[in-house]
Amino acid sequence: MSSGSSPELPKAEKGIIDAIGKLGEKAKLIYAKPNRIKFSVQRDDLVEVARFIRDELHFDHATNVTGTDFPKDGQLEITYHLGSHDGGEELRRIILAISCRIPSNDPKLPTLVNEYPSVLYHERETAEMIGCVFEGHPNLGRLLLPEDWTDIPPMLKAFRLPGRLEGE
Amino acid sequence: MVAQELESQQQQQQPPKKGSASLHSHEGPGLNILVGKAREVIQQAIVDPVTYLANWGRLYSLWPVHLETACCSIEWGAVSGPRFDAERYGILEAFGSLRQCDLVVVHGTVTRKMAPRLRFIYDQMPEPKWVIAMGACSISGGVYFDSYNVLPGVDQVIPVDVYVPGCPPRPEELIDAFILLQDKIRNSNIKKTS
Ligand code: SF4
Domain CATH number, residue A64: 3.30.460.80
Task: Provide the domain limits for residue A60.
Answer: 25-135
Residue from the list B111, B113, B146 with its beta carbon closest to the beta carbon of A161 = B146
Chain-chain contact of B148 with A159 (C-beta, under 8 angstroms): yes
> Has residue A15 been placed in a domain?
no
Residue from the list B112, B146, B147 with its beta carbon closest to the beta carbon of A146 = B112
Give the per-residue pLDDT at B9: 53
Q: For residue A156, what are the CA distances in angstroms to A75, A96, A124, A160, B36?
A: 11, 25, 16, 9, 61
> Has residue B40 been placed in a domain?
no
> Has residue A72 been placed in a domain?
yes
Is the overall model pTM greater than 0.80, yes or no? no
Give which of B52, B76, B81, B78 is closest to B64, Cα–Cα: B76
Chain B closest CA to A105's CA: distance in Å?
23
> Has residue A119 been placed in a domain?
yes
Compute the distance between CA of residue A119 and CA of residue A132 in angstroms, rounded to an integer: 14
B107 Cα nearest atom in ligand 1: 5
Answer whether the bond into residue B168 is a cis peptide, omega within 30°. Answer: yes
List CB contacts of A115: < 8 A, sequence separation 6 or more. Answer: A47, A50, A51, A54
> Has residue B50 been placed in a domain?
no
Please identify every stretch of chain B with a pLDDT value under 50, giving residue numbers as ranges: 1-2, 17-23, 194
ipTM, 2 dp: 0.72
Residue B139 belongs to domain with CATH number? 3.40.50.12280
Q: For residue A73, what are the CA distances in angstroms to A66, A77, A98, A106?
A: 18, 10, 19, 13
> Has residue A159 been placed in a domain?
no
Task: Provide the domain limits for residue B160.
Answer: 65-186
Atom 2 (ligand 1): residue with closest C-alpha? Answer: B167
Give the per-residue pLDDT at A124: 92
> Has residue A93 been placed in a domain?
yes
Tell me how many domains chain A contains.
1
Give the per-residue pLDDT at A7: 60
Tell me how many domains chain B contains.
1
10-residue mean pLDDT profile of chain A (168 residues): values are: 60 85 85 90 91 89 92 92 87 91 92 91 92 90 86 88 60
- Contact status of B112 with chain A (Cβ, < 8 Å): yes
Measured in angstroms, how far is the CA atom of residue A112 from the centroid of ligand 1? 38
> Has residue A1 been placed in a domain?
no
Give the per-residue pLDDT at B22: 46
Strand A36-41 relative to strand A27-33, pairing = antiparallel
Half-sphere exposure of residue B16, counting CA atoms within 13 Å on the CB side? 0
Give the per-residue pLDDT at B26: 55
B70 Cα nearest atom in ligand 1: 5
Atom 8 (ligand 1): residue with closest C-alpha? Answer: B71
- Chain A residues in contact with B145 (beta carbon < 8 A): 164
Give the per-residue pLDDT at A142: 86
Compute the distance between CA of residue A123 and CA of residue A149 in angstroms, rounded to an integer: 18
Ligand 1: which of B134, B167, B173 to mutate, most ligand atoms within 8 Å of CB? B167
Give the per-residue pLDDT at B38: 81
Give the per-residue pLDDT at A77: 93
Helices assigned H by DSSP within B60-194: 73-80, 115-124, 135-140, 171-186
> Has residue B175 been placed in a domain?
yes
